[in-house]
Each structure stands twice: as structure tokens, then as C-alpha cells.
Amino acid sequence: MIAALGRAHARAGDSGPALRALDQLEALRSETYVSPLDFAVLKLALGDRAAAFEWLDRAVEERVGRLIWMQVHPLYDPLRDDPRFPGLLRKLHFPRP
């Protein structure tokens, strides 16, 4: 929920609370598992595509189950025109469209 709320703030142009959400997620990582996808979607909402792809790569390495939606979920629409996106889909062994 922290990532979702942070993403909502970032999408609304309110980066302060979004960055605080990022800090909260980072602090939580020392106590419990936090999915790399939570970081990826928040970084993407903040406009940091490079960091979003780094976190997505971690999610692939960790075999995060929610990645099954990568090819169709609108959350990832901002990445579809990025040349790194097809490579990410290949890592996930998705069939080519």
C-alpha cells in the first residue's frame, strides 16, 4: 500500500510524499520482504525509467509472480516505447506479440 500511495502522489505531481514512500519502502526492506515491483512502479511514477528497469530486472531475478501481467497491465504502458522493454519481456519468456 505504501508503494500505491506513493505512486498516486507522484502521478498527481506531489513528489514529496512519493519520495517519502520510497524511503519508507527502503527502511522496510531491512525488516521484511519488499517486492522489487513496488520500487519499480514508484520509480516509474517519479519519472525515473532507468531505476524502474533496474528494479524490474531484480523482480525478474526474484521471479516475482506479478510479472505475469507485465505484457498487458496498463501500469507498464509508460515503458512500452522504451527499447529495453522487449528485452525485459524476453527475459520473462513471453511469446512475441
Instruction: Give how many domains the chain has, as a whole number.
Output: 1
Task: Specify if 33 maps to a domain.
Answer: yes
pLDDT at residue 21 is higher than 90: yes
Task: Specify if 97 maps to a domain.
Answer: no
Task: Specify if 32 maps to a domain.
Answer: yes
Task: Specify if 69 maps to a domain.
Answer: yes
* Cα distance from N-terminal residue to C-terminal residue, the chain: 32
Reported pTM: 0.90
C-alpha 16/C-alpha 74 separation (Å) is 24
Helices assigned H by DSSP within the chain: 2-11, 15-29, 36-45, 49-62, 85-91
pLDDT at residue 96 is higher than 80: no
Task: Specify if 47 maps to a domain.
Answer: yes
Task: Specify if 96 maps to a domain.
Answer: no
Identify the domain containing residue 52 by its residue range.
2-91
Calculate mean pLDDT across residues 7-31.
Answer: 96
